[in-house]
Each structure stands twice: as C-alpha cells, then as structure tokens.
Amino acid sequence: MNLLIKSATIVDPNSPFHLQVTDILIENGVITEIGANLTSDAESFDATGKYLLPGFFDLNCNIGELGYETKEDLHSGTAAAAAGGFTGLALMPNTAKPVHSKAEVEYLVNKSKGSLVDVVPLGAISYKREGKDMAEMYDMYQSGARAFTDGNHPVQDAGLMERALLYAHGFNALIFSYPEDTAIAGKAKVNEGEVSTLLGMKGIPSLAEELMVARDLYLSEYTNSPIHFSTISTWRSVDLIRQARARGLKVTCDVAAHHLVLTDDALMGFDSLYKVKPPLRIQKDVDALIAGLKDGTIDAIVTQHTPHEVEYKNVEFEIAEYGIIGLQTAFSLALKAGLSIEMIAEKLSVNPRKIIGTPLICVAEDAYANFTVVDLQQDWEYTKDNNLSKSYNSPFIGQTLRGQVLLTCNNNQLFKS
C-alpha cells in the first residue's frame, strides 16, 4: 500500500512531529518520509485541516466468535473497527464458549491474522466465567492473551480475585475488574434515582459499583498487583481511584464513550437501545467522568461494543439485553463530550496500548504505518447503510454526528470512509 498524505496535522505525543503540519509518505505499509512538499507517484490524499493520530485501540470489545457469530464475527467486527479508526481490539471473553483456555485464544489469534485490525484476546479469570475455579491463565498468556477478565460477569469471590491478582502478577499479566456487587445490584435494570422512580422500575444503586471498586483496590494494595477497572460510571468510583493513585497504587481504569454523553434521562421513552450496563447515570456522574479524563484519573475511553440481533433489543425494556454497538461512534462521542484532539489521542490511542502491554506505535520515519486520519468539523449521518456491524443496536443510528474518520491504515492495508 503506497500513499502520500498531504498537509496533515500529526497528533502523537510519542512522535518528533507532534502537532506539526506536514506530509507523510507511506510505501509498502511503512512511513518512509515525513516532511514538507513531498512528491511521489503514489496516490495522494489531501489532509489539509485534518488530523493524523496513531490508530485507536479498544480495551473493551465484544465480538460473537466463538458461538455468537450471528451477532458479530471477526470479519464484520474488524470492518466496523476500521471504519471507526480502530487498528487494535481487545476482545472480551463473553462468548458462547468462553475464552478460558489456550485453544480459544489460539483460534482468535489465528483467525484474525491478515486483518487490518490487530486482535488481542482477553482470557477469562475463571473457568467458564463461573467465578469459582481459576482458569488456565498462564497457558492463555503464552498463546497470546495479554490480560484477564470475566467480562460482564463480575468476580464476586474476593478470594478468587486475590488469587488471580497474585498469579497474574507473577508473569506480568493484568487483571481487569468489572466492578459490580450483584447482591446489591440484584435484578434491577436502570440507575437508581429520580428517573427510575418516575419509570416505576427498581434501580441499581451506585453503591453496587463503588463497593467492588473499593474491595478490589484493597486487594490490589494487599497483593501489590496492578489492576484495571473496566467501564466505571459513578463520581465516587472516580474519586476512589483518584485517591488510590495518589497513594501510589498501580491502578488504571476506563470509561465507555456513551457514558460521557448520555444520562438516564434518555430512558424516559423506555427505549431499550439505551439499556446498558453499567446503567446510564446522572449528570453529576457524567461531569465527574469527564473531569477524571481531563485530570488523568481515567486512562482510556472504550467502546464497550456489544452487538445483539434485533430480537434481543426490540422487545420490552425489562427483558431486552444490555449493550450497544460503539466502534463507529466512539470518536464522535469523545468529541461531543468536549475532549481535545490531543486528549483523544491519549485516551483512544496511546494509553490503551500502555495498559494492555502491546508495543507502542509512533508516527515516525521507518515505522510501520498505523494511524487514522480524522476531520473534527465534518458532520456525518450514522445509518444502517454505513453501519458495518452485523447488528444495529445503537441509539445513534439515524443521528447526525460531528467528527468523521476518513482513513484507517495498518498492516499494509487502508480503509477509506
């Protein structure tokens, strides 16, 4: 793949060309030259007024393989990822056959070879994600898993979480915690508050999340092991993690893009497309999440891409499945939340790779071309026609969003919107 990008503003804190407006020449998938007024016989792309960032990396993506291919398969999932500017995905083990042994990890690694998008499987902490017996984490690590989580099954057994932290730390792997105390959350479907009262629905209190954040922070401190919290959603969770970092704990965390722009007010119409977990919270929580991103407490933004067939979402709110698809909208939502392009590069490109431990990428000469080109001012309509996922469970389909991904490049392949 040969391409000459003209007059792009590079946004990459690891690059010597950070914030410079320059030309970039890519030959056979490698950046061979960066400078002014470059010429080449290669195809040219005018990026005047546009920004070139390292390719995005998603730390929380659900793709149906193995077993739920009708929701999403690797082909459709990586296509949607490329359209959203993502060149790397960490896949949650929430599949029909959980990713709890090296066989599933090796399948995903081998099946995804040759794709524009790099795929990193996340292995389960427990066998079958049942929260009882520890899974074969070291075998999975040897086969390509770089972190471990029970996905959307929170680990209720404190002893199991303690053992997992100690064991994974022994071979420099990372444990992801999805913080929810199921005894507190119960069978409720929405955030506990004024909206749940108005809707006449039992709510999930913020306490259900915050208790688990506090517990796992104590376990991380006790075992001297790093921990990563997935999709925190409340102001107190942000505050607990901020205090832990100030004490020197090795803790990182992320937030889902939709939690930065939506509150539980969106549920007033009982639209199941807004049914997610953690549930949409109140404006105080949204403000705290954005503040946490800006002060460095929250390290990354994730899509929490969760595809479902229409029959699982177009039903009564109480019985609808949780989750929305988010690979193609995460960048626009980050912009809508008021984040700068430099912060977006940090939270979507740089920090996720640091957390997961994959090689950092850099927009520099002689480096492999791994980037996305975006237009901050371009409006685009998200429709069923340009949605590349197999599923359509997004409340943003039919809406006009600002901030478009124009190009995504990786592994000597190019995606154009």
Per-residue pLDDT of 334-366, as tens digits, reads 999 999 999 999 999 999 999 999 988 999 999
Sheet holding 56-61, edge to edge: 56-61, 86-91, 118-121
> pLDDT grade, residue 7 (50/70/90)?
very high
- pLDDT score at 398: 96
- The predicted-structure confidence for 373-386, as pLDDT tens digits, reads as follows 999 999 999 999 99
Over range 385-402, report the average pLDDT. 97
**pLDDT tens digits for range 190-202:** 999 999 999 999 9
CA dist list (Å): 282 to 74, 139, 416: 34, 42, 37
Do the domains spanning 3-51+365-416 and 55-356 agree at the CATH topology level? no
Question: Of 58, 70, 144, which is closest to residue 408 (Cα–Cα)?
Answer: 58
CATH of domain 3-51+365-416: 2.30.40.10
**Mean pLDDT across 289-295:** 98
Query: What are the structure tokens assigned to 275, written together?
Result: 């049914």
- DSSP code of residue 129: G
Q: How do beta strands 86-91 and 300-302 pair?
A: unpaired
Percentage of residues in the chain with pLDDT exceeding 90?
98
pTM here is: 0.96
- CATH number for region 55-356: 3.20.20.140
Q: What rounded mean pLDDT belongs to the chain?
A: 97
- What's the average model confidence in pLDDT over 59-76? 94
- Comparing CA positions, the residue from 77, 155, 159 lying closest to residue 118 is 77
Q: Using alpha carbons only, what angle is made at residue 304 by residues 53 and 239, rounded to the nearest 5 degrees?
A: 90
pLDDT of residue 357: 94
pLDDT range class, residue 387, cuts 50, 70, 90: very high
Say which amino acid occupies 9. Answer: T
Where are the chain's structural domains?
Answer: 3-51+365-416, 55-356
Rounded CA-CA distance 231/165 in Å is 19
pLDDT of residue 290: 98
